[in-house]
Chain A
Amino acid sequence: MYDSGKIIAGIVIFLLFVTFPFYYNMGKAVAKPDPSVDTPVIKQMEKKQCIESKQAMKTLHMQLLNDWRDAVVRDGQRLYVATDGKSYNMSLQNTCMHCHSNKKKFCDECHNYMAVKPYCWDCHIQPKEGA
């Protein structure tokens, strides 16, 4: 092999790049997210049901919130009619956070796990919670 010093250095750099996730996670605990719906308001509900189905909320909540924001801020429209015909007040703080009052144990669980930083709280006031 010619220029073996440079070649080996190059290969080592390549290997460090591609195996990054394998050594980066060493010794770090992988905690799976477990969002909690254990809040006083949800406990009192007879039928524990969000405004849409659980699956829809899981994958589409961000689009729903985005649509709500546009409807409220740009069109002054505050009435949301859900798929099951019930209507709700479009409001993050008064509707969503009324039941899900546990941001740290609910929102942040998955968002932190996925390293997602939604910009809800750039404008809204973060709910005060005892840690």
Chain B
Amino acid sequence: MKMLVPLSAVIVMIIIALAGVEAAGLQALFGIAIPYIAFLVFVIGMVLKVINWAKSPVPFRITTTCGQQQSLPWIKQNKIENPSTCFHTFIRMVLEVLLFRSLFRNLKTELNDGKVVYGSDKWLWLFALVFHYSFLVVLIRHIRFFVVDMPFAIEIIEALDSFFQVGVPLLYLSGLGLLVGAIFLFLRRIVIPQVRYISLPADYFPLFLVIAIAITGIIMRYFTKVDVVAVKNLTMGLVTFSPVVPEGIGSIFYVHLFLVCTLFAYFPFSKLVHMGGVFLSPTRNLANNSRMERHINPWNYPVHVHTYEEYENEFRDKMKKAGLPVEKE
């Protein structure tokens, strides 16, 4: 059931797009209205989500550390695993965001003669890198549908992506990487019993969605073909706010577009929002300087404290008369 619901959701969406375009002729809805709505939901949703996170106070340093913290001068500090300055935290964040260092520590847990043993497991890290970078390159490549003239940097990315010049249209490695990465992440969830046990429909749905997007994209580019010039007319209409629905774009394009719109609109409300969340993880983005700086909880109720010094000042004379010892004469 945990897999069936998200799988049927994706299939139903494919059918909705197909039926909407082929039977009902709702090209304007699927080509213009839904993309605009999805884009707005994505952008506004992401911004509100981040602002909402930023409103939650993080009064104390809750850094997850896995190395020697800053201590006495002759004890060597692990500056990246246990940063104590802003700069080292920044390095740690850059490595986390770009290289997924925390996944590099992924472990495999097994029972061996009744004992729990842990082994290194780098596959998740490797395929997560393949998946995310492929997705990024795929996204960047799609810029060509949205600009009049291609920026030079994007041309270079495209040239590298099709470097091996396999077939015509040239095979993009990132398209393949995206599909392979997503399939690995899916297989991981069904093959490893522990991961399968904790996987929810919300874990499977984005995977099925991404796999469906990748497959429809690959089919369109390499197999059934759509009229790309007409597609670009449509996309350019969207970004120049003069939307048009050109004739004769294949239905599969609208399926692809509808799935992408679903992904965008779903993004801010799902686990996918880790795109923004990774930057705001208090366990990552804080320096472990609790022993150097005093962090005060901002919502502490102001408590009036009567210190011994104040007490003695108030009763010094009486204390002296009674023969009690005082700190200051």
Q: A residues within 8 Å of B by Cβ?
A: 1-4, 7, 10-11, 14-15, 18-22, 24-25, 28-30, 32-33, 58-60, 62-63, 65-66, 110, 113-115, 117-119
Contacts and interface: CB of A to CB of B under 8 A. Distances in A.
A71 B43 CA distance: 50
Contact of B229 (A60, A63, A113): A113
Interface in B223-263: 225-229, 232-233, 236, 239-240
Pairs of residues from A and B, 3 with the lowest C-beta to C-beta distance, nearest first: A21-B146, A59-B225, A66-B168
B50 interface: yes
A115 B143 CA distance: 10
Range of interface residues on chain B? 35 or more
Contacts of B276: 14
Contacts of A58: 227
B304 to A, nearest CB: 27
B54 A14 contact: no
Interface of B: 39, 42-43, 46-47, 50-51, 54-58, 143-144, 146-151, 155, 165, 167-169, 225-229, 232-233, 236, 239-240, 276, 279
Given A21-B147, A59-B225, A113-B232, A11 B169 contact: no
Contacts of A11: 47, 50-51
B225 A119 contact: no
Most A CB contacts (10 A, CB to CB) among B47, B54, B150, B168 go to B168
B147 A7 contact: no
B225 to A, nearest CB: 4
Contact of A30 (B42, B148, B167): B148
A32 B146 contact: no
Given A7-B50, A29-B148, A115-B144, 10 more contacts: A2-B57, A10-B50, A11-B47, A11-B50, A14-B47, A18-B43, A21-B146, A22-B239, A30-B236, A115-B149
